[in-house]
Structure 1
């Protein structure tokens, strides 16, 4: 009897900070089922992760911090949309029946990136995520290696606590944040720091804010 391709079902069970990663990285734990009676030799799993921003509520502080992304609150009825976070490819080893796996997702604190702005703008609660899976399953059928595409409608939802992302950034950037500046702007700030004999960049910003009356 010839075995057909496995019909994989994937759920997202948890989000955690990856240990010993060189860069800020989250890991999403997966449970994969649907390969009963099929010997899967490997899976190339392509995952697109989207932020389903419309699937949660926002307090006044959240709305103020997210204004750069979505505009004033009265505009949110048309401007609040889902955001693409990332896309990653994971290679899974052989299994039969089902298995567990982890998707590593490198994260950035660059506030030019929409996802970082969104995560930073939330005080607490959960972040609604959509996982859209595709890729290729390599399996044995009648002793021959076969390949099949993962079904186009293979999806999962997960609500990641905001605290997970904040803990990750606190671990790599304790009590700090990152800003990217153009070279000319940096040179002017550096000159300002030197001429005013300021000890650090926090002192530079505080001095400029006081001068500007903020």
Structure 2
């Protein structure tokens, strides 16, 4: 007689927490992921991949937030057709062997470049939460009585997490205190520098403020 067929090991994932990495040189959030292995064979290693997306339709927006989202979604009356889930970033991690459950930190590198859709979206928010979707994939290495086996994480492994906006705001304030970044063409920078010199201004911040004031007067 033969014994029961071993149950193939399957993995499930849950996002437990997202928090700033306090000592990183660049702005990084760490997503703490809980991993559970269901099956007979222990996990020898897991090469984890994750696509992190933003689901803007899962929250409401104040009027001042809606103004900041015009570039992304247009006016409110169009949001039913223009608001769609969009990519924030990809993240990877190598998870060492475990049996049962374990946790792993996914590093989420953040940018404050306003040419990036996610940065525009996050900058526009004033409070509440950021609706995130985590789509997991990767390669699972198991070791059992029949030797090593290699399988793929099923395509339907995902979780949602509502990250407080304050976490993002505090991260940006830590790395870019009271500042932001704009990407400009070289000829635009040259013209700004010339204007700055002609008017005896001390910084590009003063230069842009001066141009905005002249526009309002005209």
TM over 0.5, shorter chain: yes
Residue of structure 1 equivalent to 2:21:
18
Which range moved further: 115-124 or 202-211?
Answer: 202-211
Residue of structure 2 equivalent to 1:138:
141
In 2: Cα distance, 1:46 partner to 1:107 partner: 17
Residue of structure 2 equivalent to 1:83:
86
Residue of structure 2 equivalent to 1:63:
66
Following superposition, the deviation at residue 37 of structure 1 comes to 4.3
Residue of structure 2 equivalent to 1:92:
95
Following superposition, the deviation at residue 36 of structure 1 comes to 5.2
Residue of structure 2 equivalent to 1:204:
207
Residue of structure 1 equivalent to 2:9:
6
Scaled by the length of structure 2, the TM-score of the pair is 0.94
| Count of aligned positions | 214
Contact 1:3 1:142 in 2 (8 A): no
Residue of structure 1 equivalent to 2:113:
110
Could you tell me which runs of 5 or more consecutive residues in structure 1 were left unpaired when the two chains were aligned.
Answer: none
2:79 matches 1:73: no
Deviations along 1:110-151, one digit per CA (max 9) or x if unpaired, are: 011100000001110001111111111101021622111111
In 2: Cα distance, 1:44 partner to 1:3 partner: 23
2:128 matches 1:128: no
Following superposition, the deviation at residue 22 of structure 1 comes to 2.3
Q: Which has the higher contact order (CA 8 A, sep 6+)?
A: 1
Which of 33, 47, 52 is the matching residue for 1:49? 52
In 2: Cα distance, 1:211 partner to 1:105 partner: 41
Residue of structure 2 equivalent to 1:194:
197
Q: Runs of 4+ in structure 1 displaced over 4 angstroms?
A: none
Scaled by the length of structure 1, the TM-score of the pair is 0.95
Contact 2:17 2:31 in 1 (8 A): yes
Which of 161, 176, 180 is the matching residue for 1:177? 180
In 2: Cα distance, 1:50 partner to 1:19 partner: 23
Contact 2:37 2:43 in 1 (8 A): no
Could you tell me which runs of 5 or more consecutive residues in structure 2 were left unpaired when the two chains were aligned.
Answer: none
In 2: Cα distance, 1:39 partner to 1:82 partner: 35
In 1: Cα distance, 2:37 partner to 2:150 partner: 16
Residue of structure 2 equivalent to 1:160:
163
